[in-house]
Chains A and B, each alone.
Chain A
């Protein structure tokens, strides 16, 4: 098929391409030499092709997890004790949707909302990158926000609220405006057609009486009805701050939570701590890599140099795949990557050790081919066993009884990706490099 030289050229081109993708977006260039001061920033353009109607666009950015770029990870547990199985399923689905709508209205880029279920416990996991005010986010997301309009009860018990069938479900939209008289923030609501009719009826019935507006069974305002209201809109005045009014509008627009939830887990990491982790792991990674590279050359000499080249190619390919797939990189994920760098040379070591034995019996080229062939069995079997464990940890089929989120998964994904790529670089790349460079230099 292809000669080794052609294969090496293909590998080289692939590496250049992957190297381009792996580069950071901005490359600061600082140089002060012999009176010349160079301070420039090179910007690597992203893929942006358009050919007639076909547009190919792809951003080559590393996606960092919450622990690295800062943000909040919140887990809410739903109280589904009063529901049967089928009700539970649809309630959780709509719970997820409502929370997702609230997150989107709150205005966070790249949020992640998912459900998890384990032994009857239903949870919604919310990831909010870059969020600073976690308290506020929790308040907005976790409140049921069931809006009801109530009538005041009979004269015997005037404080008794009698909820009507007009609820938050009858809302078309909610917006924050300011009261013309007081200048205070209020929430203006528009009803749906149906809701407008209900509202007209209720106001007609209660002229001259107060009509309390309840949020989660707690009265937020208690306006007195002056006359029947037909227009289908109303204003909730309360002692709101602007922020509170905004939050209420978000909750009303997104709809009430179908079941009450409580916060069971909160993890917030500030951006500074995340940046510190990134720089520390890069430093650790580079020093570790340097030790591995040196070790290989010291132990295997010329062969070691080839293994080192293959290892660098491994690093570049892996990094570019993280960007292309894309893999969300977390701190354990980086550890998984660094670990796979340590493991990537394993197949080379296996082959080189084998080569030492075979070299005694055959000539150089033969020994090389035989070593690759013989070592392959053990490389394959051993790596498949590792991949099995990584597969269980990464849980790509989303089984509820295994880990579904968090650090375990991030680690497993980078580790298994690393193993898969190391099989390619260890076998294909170094084999062809050896064929071309070592064999020719021997001749």
Chain B
């Protein structure tokens, strides 16, 4: 099949997706969670029924500002506040005791993150992403004895990263998807997913290169045809696990699994439709330059 004939379409499609992502990012930014912004998350389970309004009102009366409150189950509430200090925390506990009037309240989780943690997390993530990218670039360039392979693989990797970030900017606005520690992990895992698939296709090109003296264009078409089924099948098995996690894994890791899901789909798509077309285009440009000389 002549996959490479439609290179322009792939590039346009990716361009559109990335543009939508960047637009969402510019318009709404990221919906930063507790880990980045700092704040308090408290989840309580009450023995008896207590209305959301009464909780909100009581907290307000005591001067504790609630950013948001949501139910997470029967008589379970998740409250978000600014980072509480010791006194404010005592106040909050007092309010809860008053509300329950003797019946029990179970603190399911309580998290306070100070404002200094977030910027650090961002920096560490950038360092990690840079180191991983450089290491992968060098590894691919070394194994395939060409920087064009390495750079195309890395560009496809960034393509997936942008799509993931963009889609979370979009979902952050519409579905309140939050950016947290786990999102960062998913982002970095996407890097490796992306390049994993790309290498499998590249390997086919490398193998044929030794046997046939054909143009990269033809070898690329051949390699994509040969690896398409395996690529899809492999993604299916990963997607099965992720879908199970999204649907059944509970609220804590739902968005994490969704992020990995998007990363997997983008990674599967980008190998034949971004990394390889880039490689072929690179080859074209190099040839044209040589021809001019």
Chain A residues within 8 Å of B, Cβ to Cβ: 67, 75, 77, 118-119, 121, 134-135, 138, 263-270, 272-273, 276-277, 280-281, 283-285, 287-289, 291-292, 295-296, 299, 331-332, 335, 338-339, 341-343, 345-346, 349-350, 353, 357, 374, 377-378, 381-386, 388-390, 392-393, 401-403, 406-408, 411-412, 415
Chain B positions within 8 Å of A75 at CB level: 117
Partner of B136, one of A268, A281, A389, A411: A389
Chain B positions within 8 Å of A67 at CB level: 252
| Residue among B43, B204, B252 with most chain A CB within 10 A | B252
B49, chain A: closest CB distance, angstroms: 19
A to B contact number (C-beta, < 8 Å):
214
Asked whether B106 is an interface residue with its Cβ less than 8 Å from the other chain, the reply is yes
Asked whether B110 is an interface residue with its Cβ less than 8 Å from the other chain, the reply is yes
Chain A positions within 8 Å of B230 at CB level: 349-350, 353
| Residue among A138, A277, A389 with most chain B CB within 10 A | A389
In the complex, A389 Cα to B128 Cα: how many Å? 8
In the complex, A77 Cα to B120 Cα: how many Å? 13
Contact yes or no, B191 A332, CB < 8 A: no
In the complex, A382 Cα to B116 Cα: how many Å? 37
Chain B 251-262: CB-based contact to A (< 8 A → 1; otherwise 0)? 011001100100
Contact yes or no, A392 B199, CB < 8 A: no
A414, chain B: closest CB distance, angstroms: 11
Q: Is the interface of B mostly helix, strand, loop or mixed?
A: helix
Asked whether B182 is an interface residue with its Cβ less than 8 Å from the other chain, the reply is yes
In the complex, A191 Cα to B244 Cα: how many Å? 62
Contact yes or no, B203 A385, CB < 8 A: no
Contact yes or no, A284 B140, CB < 8 A: no
Asked whether B242 is an interface residue with its Cβ less than 8 Å from the other chain, the reply is yes
Q: What are 22 of the A-B contact pairs (CB < 8 Å)?
A: A118-B123, A119-B123, A121-B120, A135-B89, A265-B114, A267-B112, A267-B113, A268-B110, A272-B106, A273-B108, A280-B249, A281-B253, A285-B241, A288-B240, A299-B233, A338-B241, A338-B245, A346-B237, A349-B233, A377-B207, A378-B204, A403-B128
Contact yes or no, B182 A407, CB < 8 A: yes
In the complex, A339 Cα to B226 Cα: how many Å? 25
In the complex, A68 Cα to B199 Cα: how many Å? 36
Asked whether B19 is an interface residue with its Cβ less than 8 Å from the other chain, the reply is no
Contact yes or no, A401 B127, CB < 8 A: yes
Shortest beta-carbon contacts, A-B, top 7: A288-B244, A378-B203, A389-B192, A264-B114, A342-B238, A342-B241, A284-B248
Chain A positions within 8 Å of B106 at CB level: 270, 272
Chain B positions within 8 Å of A406 at CB level: 181
Contact yes or no, B237 A401, CB < 8 A: no
Chain B 85-128: CB-based contact to A (< 8 A → 1; otherwise 0)? 01001100000000000000011111111101100100111011
Contact yes or no, A392 B237, CB < 8 A: no
In the complex, A425 Cα to B203 Cα: how many Å? 22
Q: Is the interface of A mostly helix, strand, loop or mixed?
A: helix
In the complex, A386 Cα to B233 Cα: how many Å? 19
Contact yes or no, A402 B124, CB < 8 A: yes
Chain B positions within 8 Å of A402 at CB level: 124, 127-128, 131
Residue count of chain B within 8 Å CB distance of chain A: 72
Contact yes or no, A393 B248, CB < 8 A: no
Contact yes or no, B139 A266, CB < 8 A: no
Partner of B250, one of A272, A281, A345, A381: A281
Query: Beyond A265-B112, A292-B237, is A385–B247 a contact (Cβ under 8 Å)?
Result: no
Chain B positions within 8 Å of A349 at CB level: 230, 233-234, 237
Chain A positions within 8 Å of B197 at CB level: 382
Query: Beyond A292-B240, A385-B195, A407-B185, is A119–B120 a contact (Cβ under 8 Å)?
Result: yes
In the complex, A186 Cα to B131 Cα: how many Å? 56
Contact yes or no, B109 A386, CB < 8 A: no
A357, chain B: closest CB distance, angstroms: 7
Contact yes or no, A276 B253, CB < 8 A: no
Given contacts A67-B252, A296-B237, A389-B136, 18 further A-B contacts (CB under 8 A): A75-B117, A273-B108, A284-B245, A285-B241, A292-B237, A335-B245, A339-B260, A341-B241, A342-B237, A343-B237, A382-B199, A388-B136, A401-B123, A402-B128, A402-B131, A407-B185, A411-B189, A412-B185
Query: Beyond A281-B249, A382-B196, A392-B128, is A270–B109 a contact (Cβ under 8 Å)?
Result: yes
In the complex, A339 Cα to B199 Cα: how many Å? 19
